[in-house]
Structure 1
Amino acid sequence: MSVLNAERIKLTTTKSPIWCTLIAVAASIGFAALVGVGYKSSADSGDNPFGEFTASATQVGAVQFGSMLVMIMAALAVTTEYRFGVIRTTFQAIPNRTQVIAGKALLLAGFAAVLGMVIALASFYLGQATSGVSLSISEGDNARELFGVPIYFALVSVLAVGVGTLIRQSAGAISLLLLWPLVIESMATLIPKVGKYISEFGPFNNMNHFLGNGGSVDFHWGPWGSLLYFAAFVAIVFGAALFLVNKRDA
């Protein structure tokens, strides 16, 4: 509990988590409103390229932009301590390094899950208001696509803590976390032969499949299998981070 309390103080008294949270909320909810307006405008003109308006459409901003801010916030929670040498003091106060990193991940995952729930619900209802379409949470896959957002936020925060612990440098950790879904798993799919497997087995692509944004990729399992696949990927990265943090110098 002392570890969690210390991390809570760091999280609530530094500027980067506050700014990341505010930008994540504004970008996610704002994009949901724009999607709704665009859908309504297209529907009114009789030319609707968006197809059916679903819960996943209202969560595009959260999945694409909000998650990025959550990863940046979680990565900075680790790399900033390495940058200023505070991590040495932390490890001196709490010699159990696994407990320190796990405490960070647990607190950030809990905060990210609550943030994701707030963003998901706000985006869901604002998207309906601006689109003029009424959606029911209990209808079809809407519940999974809506409540999957806080799960996604919690998992990517743990992933970012792991990557930050492995790399220990802000620019490198953030670059990897952002480029992985935006470039490696998106652009690499254009590579002949190899691209097909990157699409099917990319962890972020699988999470998008769970959230209803899998596109035309032919995955080897259903949405819940994709969630387990992404969770296993996060566990491997975080496990490697815990192993190395106990082997390396602070």
Structure 2
Amino acid sequence: MIGPALAAVDAERIKLTSTRAPYWCLAMVVVFGVGVAVLLGWLLSGGYADRASVDTRTIDYLVGVNQFGVAIFAIMAVLGITTEYRFGTIRSSFAAVPRRPLVIIAKTVVFGGLTFVVAAIVSLVGVGSGQALTGNGIALGGPDTVRQLWGTPVFATLCALIGLSVGALVRHSAGAVAIVLGWMFAFERILSVLPRIGEDITPFLPFLNGRNFLSGGSDTFHWNAYGSLGYFAVVTVILLAVAIFVTSARDA
């Protein structure tokens, strides 16, 4: 079991590194992630804002990652499986690895691992660069900073795995990307502001729970920041399990 699983992971790694799209996606994450942090630090250091009157938190330096970057990671994961259906290479993957769950699990390991590592590096560089330019005394060892530096990569990884799951279920690139981005940036926010039901629904919306964790928690939710992260992780695992089950049950 271990041998075929490792072989499947290696095959997915080769697929990922043999196309240009992932490199462009990762380059965009770096540009947005570091660029926004540097821009914020430059604006504050250049006198464009009164540093004494601006409450700059670590999460502000990470907007490029936890807003733009997570969307790019999710799109990359979507394309990682939908393009195989588009070009018919998924049949070869299933022929080489007859146990279809292993294919999805291997993609989970590769895309999840890559997302976590890149998001962690970009977050650290972004916060460090912004702090160096701003000079506002944010400590990399502070509790809020530490939570952001490990929490942002975790949040990005969960977003990528949701993208992978939706891609496996929908199997069409445009449709899956539209669903993921609409869910991530529009659908939940619309539900949260609906009269009468918005306040009751908000605590159970996955992406808003993830962002509640990043922001440090809110009274709107039934649990603290870490409870929100746990809820988001459980929803991700359930969706991934559904994707594995459906992929195993239907024709390629």
- TM-score interval w.r.t. the shorter chain? over 0.9
Relative to the length of structure 1, the TM-score reads 0.93
What is the CA distance between 1:178 and its match in structure 2? 0.7
Q: Partners in 2 of 1:140 and 1:84 — Cα distance? A: 47
2:216–2:225 contact (8 Å) kept in structure 1: no
Residue in 2 that maps onto 1:191: 194
Q: Partners in 2 of 1:149 and 1:183 — Cα distance? A: 20
Q: Which amino acid aligns with 1:5?
A: D
Q: Which among 205, 209, 218 is matched to residue 208 of structure 2?
A: 205
Relative to the length of structure 2, the TM-score reads 0.92
Q: Partners in 2 of 1:213 and 1:163 — Cα distance? A: 28
Q: Which among 215, 233, 238 is matched to residue 231 of structure 1?
A: 233
Give the alignment's Cα RMSD to 1 decimal.
Answer: 1.6
Q: Partners in 1 of 2:219 and 2:92 — Cα distance? A: 47
Q: Partners in 1 of 2:216 and 2:192 — Cα distance? A: 16
Gap regions ≥5 residues in structure 2: 1-5
Residue in 1 that maps onto 2:8: 3
Q: Secondary structure at the match of 2:91?
A: helix
Q: Which amino acid aligns with 1:120?
A: S
Q: Which among 4, 12, 18 is matched to residue 17 of structure 2?
A: 12
> Which consecutive segments of 4 or more residues in structure 1 shift more than 6 A?
none
Q: Secondary structure at the match of 2:232?
A: helix
Identity of aligned residues (%): 37
1:78–1:168 contact (8 Å) kept in structure 2: yes
Q: Secondary structure at the match of 2:50?
A: helix
1:1-250 paired onto structure 2 within 5 Å: 1-40=6-45, 41-43=48-50, 48=53, 51-212=54-215, 218-250=220-252
Distance 1:35 1:164, change over 3 A: same
Distance 1:187 1:35, change over 3 A: farther
Q: Secondary structure at the match of 2:249?
A: coil
Q: Which amino acid aligns with 1:248?
A: R
Q: Partners in 2 of 1:83 and 1:143 — Cα distance? A: 41
Distance 1:197 1:112, change over 3 A: same
